[in-house]
Amino acid sequence: MTHPVVGWRILAPLLAETPVALNIVRSHHERFDGRGIPDRLAGTAIPLEARIAAAADSFDAMTSDRPYRPDGLSVEDAIKDLIRCSGTQFDPDVVVALVRASEAGRLTLVRRPTAPRGMPVVARVAPSSRQPI
């Protein structure tokens, strides 16, 4: 799991004016309980944008079809997993925001046509309104 630091080093000269993006790249595998990588940051020491990206990336991974698991989880089951890991892997406030988005019907999975190699592709649909969650 060296990719957060490798990616950060590659992108640092290119994104020097965009520290938020660099924070996401470096810290998206940190855990709220401090057991993540690469810096073992905990709680609010992890940049907020990285805490959001970590939960969103996990949600996407859980609900996407994978070669080793052809059927992604339902939104409901993915939300249950996020809640189960709230406070350890994920920021509880970020999980609450994802739950509220789900309850408001703002997390939608759309199955698109099969990709050329026969792998199903899953897309996320952004909410039509730009209202805060």
For 116, residues 6+ apart whose C-beta sits below 8 A from its C-beta are none
Q: State the CATH class of domain 3-125.
A: mainly alpha
* pLDDT of 43 strictly over 60: yes
* pLDDT of 6 strictly over 90: yes
**Strands, DSSP E only, in the chain?**
108-111, 122-125
Helices 92-103, 75-84: axis angle to 10 degrees equals 160
* pLDDT of 27 strictly over 50: yes
96-132: per-residue pLDDT in tens? 999 999 999 887 776 544 444 455 544 444 455 444 4
pLDDT, mean of residues 53-74:
88
The ranges assigned to domains in the chain are: 3-125
Cβ–Cβ under 8 Å, residues 105 and 127: no
d(CA 101, CA 34): 26
17 φ/ψ angles, rounded to the nearest 5 degrees: -85, 0
Q: Which two tokens stand for residue 71?
A: 């059927």
pLDDT at 129: 47
* pLDDT of 18 strictly over 80: yes
d(CA 21, CA 77): 29
**pLDDT band per the 50, 70, 90 thresholds, residue 77:** very high
Which of 30-34, 75-79, 98-102, 117-121 has the lowest average pLDDT?
117-121
